[in-house]
Amino acid sequence: MLSRLLRTIQLGFKSLFLHKLRSGLAVLGILIGVTAVIWLVALGEGVSFQAQQQIKDLGATNIIVKSVKPASGSSKGGAAFVVEYGLTRDDYARITTIPTVRRAVPMREIRKEVRYRDRASEIHLIGCTPDYLEINHVNMERGRFLTDRDLDRRDNVCVIGDDTAKQLFPYENPIGQSIKVETDFYVVIGQTQNRSPSAAIGGSLAGRDYNLDVYIPITTLRARIGDQVITSRSGSREGELVQLNQVTVTVGDITEVEEAADIIGILLEKYHKNADYSITVPKELLRQAEMLRMMFNVLLILIAGISLVVGGIGIMNIMLATVTERTREIGVRRAMGARRMDIITQFLAETVVMSGTGGVVGVACGFLCWPVTRGLRSGVQYWMPDVWKSLPSTIHNLEPIVAPWSIIAAFGISVGVGVLFGLYPARRAAMMDPIEALRHE
């Protein structure tokens, strides 16, 4: 039985090499389809992996509560241009009383210009606590981060991001130097490591570049700058009064996330009538990202599957022509005792050999996704630097991930296409009248 199967496959390859160009074009259609399936799924998996990693960095047991500027805010102190909104320190105190909350990290953010001698840089001035480092997965390059003692003493100390350090201190160690924010000076005690900017995730979380941050104790920010910030734009003055921009809450277990988020929502709703806050649960974002990944993969497979169907039609066309060309051969085989099933098996073997060969070569080409993607990325970065800078960080850091299931699925579909589109020509050959086939010229 095995020797007969090997003989049938051998005959299939022999028939392929009788018409090299024609068979090669049919194999090419399957090859392109299989490669397309693997490449598209790999690129989709790469993009999805980045999105899921960014969500995981937020922490599956975290709840992010943010201040949101309402369409119309309330004025403060009779000044119509000052808008008061967002989270307050009282809100933070209430959140910490929730039994399931293990940790709550407040944060205040203001856009400022920082100066060192004749150099200046636009930065995000972040007032925070020591827990900010761990909860946001920020690592230190040199020096140290803020401590509880810095908060208690309201020290004028700061930790600067990697890009800020490069702009202000391109040739020297920033530790121990003093930088100026408005009229105040802050001593640099640490520098964070370079971290890839996070892309925006849906409409829930905005993108963020941690390399442009400058961190100071939140108590120092309140004492030196205060809650109210006035900015001048196009000849007009505009102000905001915000106590806290964000509170990141951590619960003990992932099963407590939704309950804690509901309690926080009830607490804030009682004291915020203008809906000037938002609550984001990374666990829900992770679930949505996984669902979108599955839908995206199905769509990509459907699109790439069209190439396989086109390749299958090409195989059917070639096999129908082959049946016509080999009518006399079919008649001779039938006259010598070959059964109809033998004829069907022979022609099906030839189509499976063609589609299987295209599938194997397509799988091999599928693994070229890594070098091709990196080569294209390097080429754009070298030859078109302006275009490269305009591309989102997702493209800059994209690494294709070849999913094992996509290889199995693509190869299986290619063989299935060969059987499906080879069945009709094979049956047509088997149903020929042996006498009529022998008379064929």
**What pLDDT digit, counting tens, does each position of 311-355 carry?**
778 778 777 777 777 777 777 777 777 777 877 777 788 888 888
Residue carrying the six token digits 């909860």: 135
pLDDT score recorded for residue 127: 95
Of 29, 36, 12, the C-alpha closest to 312 is 29
Dump pLDDT digits (tens) for 179-209: 999 889 999 999 999 887 665 554 455 667 7
Work out the percent of the chain whose per-residue pLDDT is above 70: 84
Residue scoring higher pLDDT (115 or 425) = 115
Torsion over CA: 65, 68, 70, 74 (sign):
positive
Helix (H, G, I), strand (E, B) or coil at 160: strand
Which ranges of 59-122 would DSSP assign to H, the alpha helix? 89-95
Report the b/e string of 49-79 with b at 16+ CB within 10 A.
bbbbebbeebbebbbbbbbeebeebeebeee
Residue scoring higher pLDDT (7 or 432) = 432
Q: What are residue 65's DSSP bridge partners?
A: 247, 279
The two structure tokens encoding residue 440: 């064929």
In terms of DSSP bridges, do strands 79-84 and 236-241 run parallel, antiparallel, or are they unpaired?
Answer: parallel
Query: What mean pLDDT is predicted for residues 235-259?
Result: 84
Look up the pTM and report it.
0.59
Local confidence band at 159 (pLDDT 50, 70, 90 cut-offs): very high
Whether the per-residue pLDDT at 378 is higher than 60: the answer is: yes
pLDDT score recorded for residue 414: 83
Whether the per-residue pLDDT at 77 is higher than 50: the answer is: no
CA distance linking residue 147 with residue 109, whole number of Å? 18
Query: What mean pLDDT is predicted for residues 397-408?
Result: 84
pLDDT score recorded for residue 178: 95
Residue scoring higher pLDDT (71 or 56) = 71
Local confidence band at 75 (pLDDT 50, 70, 90 cut-offs): very low
Half-sphere exposure of 107 (CA within 13 A, CB side): 24
